[in-house]
Chains A and B, each alone.
Chain A
C-alpha cells in the first residue's frame, strides 16, 4: 500500500513537471566560459523581465554531450565551449535531431606561464617551453627522454634553477589548448620531430606528450590552487588562464613568451601567442520555445558586454578585434547556421 502511494506520488510529480513549460534558459558547458556566461546571465536577469538563466559548469565535452542529446524542454538550450565543436560531435547532434545550431565566438582567453613576484621574470620561447616540458626531446639528432633538469641547461640565459612547472591535468581544456598552442607549435621547429611526420602516431606522441618525471606537476582543475602554490614557492612556474593572473597581479607575474608579455592589450592585439577562442552554441529549435533566447544571445553579443570596454573585459575576457566582433554579432543575431 505504502509503495503504491509512493509510486503514485512520484509519478504525479514527474508528470506535473513534464507538463509544466520551462520559462528559464538552461546553459551547460565549459568551466572556462562559465565566469563570462554567468556574468551575462546575471546582467540579463537584472535588466530584462526574463528569469536569470541557469548555468551548469560541466566542462566543454560534457556540455556538448548534454546539448546534443536531443530537442525538447528536458535538454539544454545553449552550451559553452572552450574549443570549437568537433565534426563527430555535430554528427551525434544531427543523429539526435539537433540539426540547426548557431555558433557564436565570444572572444579569447589567454593562457599564461607565471611565477611569484619574489622571483625574477622568465623570458621564454615556445621551443624552450617545449624542451622543458616534453617527454622526449631531440638531442644530437635523436629523440631521447627529456634530460633537462634545470632551466640553465636549456639556455645559458635562463636562471640556474630546477624545472618545476605546475599545470592542469589532461582532462582540462586549458591543458588541451596549452598543448596545441605551445607544444605543437614548437615541435614543428625541430627537424628531428618534423622527420617523424610520415608516422602520424609517433609524431603526435612526440608533440603532445608531457614529461612525467616530476618536473611537470599536475595540479588539478582548480587554477586558484596553482596560484596559491606559486606564491608559496618562488622556484615554480604555473600554467593557467589569464583571468587568474589579472586577479592576482599583486602576487604573480606572467612570463614573456617569444618576448611578449601576457597583458590585456598584447593578448587582444594577437601579439601574445598563447590564446584560444571561446564559443557558445545555440540550439535553434529552442529559439521561440524558451522565452528570452534571442534577447540573451543579443545581450551576449552586444558591445557593452563583449566590447573592449564591456563588463566581460573586466572579468578577464579578451575581446575580438572590432571587425570580427561586428561579423560575429551579425552571425549571432541572425542565428546563422553552423558551418564546419
Chain B
C-alpha cells in the first residue's frame, strides 16, 4: 500500500525518466537527420558524375594521319563527315567544341591495341565536352547553357539519331586532375592519399605505441613524465595548420625535402596523429587489469615479457581502434598540406613517395573552387569516394576490435 505522496513522487520520477529518454531519442534523430541531409545532397548532386556523355560517330582510320599521330585530326574529319554542310572555319571550330579535347586518346589507344584498324571505318563513341555533358544530363537546358544556338541544333540532331549516350565514367577513377572536367579524375588523389597514409601508419603506429608503453609501463612517475604527459595532451589539441608550418620549417627548409611529396605529407600527418595515438594507446593499456600484470610477475616474467606477452596483446584492440581513427582523421586534412605544397594541380599520377602528389580532400577543395559547371557534380562524387575511404577504415577498426577483443 503506497500513500498518496509516494505515488505522486513515483509518477514524477517515471515522467522524468520518460522525458530523458525522449530527449535522447530526439538528439539521435536530429543527428541522423543531419547525416541523411548531408548524404542525400552529396549523393543527389554527385551520382551523375559516375556517368559520362559520349557521342558516337563513324571514324575512318586513314593511314596518313595515324602515321603522323594526328588523332585529333581523325576526330575532326569524322565530325566534318557527319555534318558535311559545315564548311566555314569558325563554324567548324564551333562544331568541334561538341567533342572533348581529349577525345583523340581513345582513338590512339584503339590503334595501339589493334593496328589492323588502319584504313578501316568504325563507329566510335567519343568523349563529349563538358558543356554537352551538362546539357545531356539535364543540369542546364540547351538554350541557357554555354552551347551556342548552332551547337544546340547539332546536338539535337545527334540525339535524334541516338548517337548521344551515357556510359560509365572510368576516367573519373583512373585519371589525375585536369582542367577539362570530362578528363579529370580522382585517381591521382587516391594514390597520393594512399602513399601519405602508408607513411603515416608506418611511422605513427610504432612510435606512438612504444611511447605509450614506455610512459604507462616503465617510466617513473615524476615531474618530468608529468610534463611530457601535459605536453602530449596539449599537442593533440593544436590546430592542424601549425603542424603544416612545423613541417615546412623542419622537412622542407631544414632537411631540404621536395615540396608536394607524399612522404613529407605523411610525415606532417604523423606529427599530427601521434598525440592522439599515444593518448588512445595509454587509455587502452590502463584498461588492462593490474591482476594480469601481477599474475605474470608472480610467475617470474620480466617486465618486458609482461608487456609483450600479456598487456600489449590485451590492449591491442583499443590501440588499433585509436590508430585507425587517428589516421582516418589525418587523411581528411587539407590545412597542414597547404604549407608543404600539396594543394596543387597535379596531372600525373604519382609513382613514388617523392613524386608531387595531392590527396583526396585537397582535390575536393580545388574542384569546389573551379568555375566549370561540370565540376559541381565531380566535387560531390569525390566527396563520396572520400566518405567510402573513411567508411572502409572505420569498418576495419570495428573488425579488428571484434577479432582481438578479450573479456575478463
Contacts and interface: CB of A to CB of B under 8 A. Distances in A.
B260 interface: yes
A208 interface: no
Given A35-B370, A309-B93, A249 B256 contact: no
Query: Which among A11, A13, A246 has the greatest number of chain B C-beta atoms within 10 A?
Result: A13
A209 B293 CA distance: 68
Secondary structure type dominating chain B contacts: loop
A99 interface: no
Interface string A205-246: 000000000000000011110000000000000000101101
B179 A54 contact: no
A126 interface: no
Contacts of B255: 10-11, 14
Contact of A54 (B140, B180, B356, B366): B356
Contacts of A56: 260, 341, 343-345
Contact of A57 (B146, B347, B354, B366): B366
A26 B259 contact: yes
A316 B371 contact: yes
A108 to B, nearest CB: 16
A74 B43 CA distance: 41
Interface in B44-75: none
Contact of B257 (A13, A51, A243, A315): A13
B144 A249 contact: yes
Nearest to A34: B345
Nearest to B97: A314
Contacts of B256: 14-15, 17-18, 74
Given A35-B370, A57-B366, A249 B145 contact: yes
Nearest to A40: B179
Nearest to A17: B258
Interface in B141-178: 141, 144-146, 178
B393 interface: no
B369 A55 contact: no
A42 B347 contact: yes
A224 B370 CA distance: 8
B144 A250 contact: yes
Contact of A250 (B140, B180, B260, B366): B140
Contacts of A31: 369
Contacts of B348: 45, 51-52
A41 interface: yes
Contacts of A42: 178-180, 347
Query: Which among B180, B263, B368, B369 has the greatest number of chain A C-beta atoms within 10 A?
Result: B369
Interface in B362-390: 366, 368-373, 376
A263 interface: no
Contacts of B344: 54-57
A18 B253 CA distance: 11
A223 B180 CA distance: 19
Contact of B345 (A38, A74, A244, A309): A38
A74 B366 CA distance: 24
A11 B255 CA distance: 7
Nearest to B366: A57
Given A42-B178, A250-B144, A222 B369 contact: yes
A24 B373 CA distance: 30
B117 interface: no
B259 A74 contact: yes
A17 B257 contact: yes
B146 A39 contact: no
Contacts of B259: 26, 74
20 contacts: A2-B210, A13-B263, A20-B354, A26-B259, A28-B341, A34-B345, A35-B370, A35-B371, A37-B345, A41-B347, A45-B347, A54-B356, A56-B345, A58-B338, A223-B369, A241-B371, A243-B371, A246-B146, A250-B141, A250-B145
Q: Which 6 A-B pairs have the closest CB atoms?
A: A250-B144, A14-B255, A55-B345, A52-B347, A243-B371, A56-B344
Interface of A: 2, 10-11, 13-15, 17-18, 20, 22, 24, 26, 28, 31, 34-35, 37-39, 41-42, 45, 51-52, 54-58, 74, 221-224, 241, 243-244, 246-250, 309, 311, 315-316
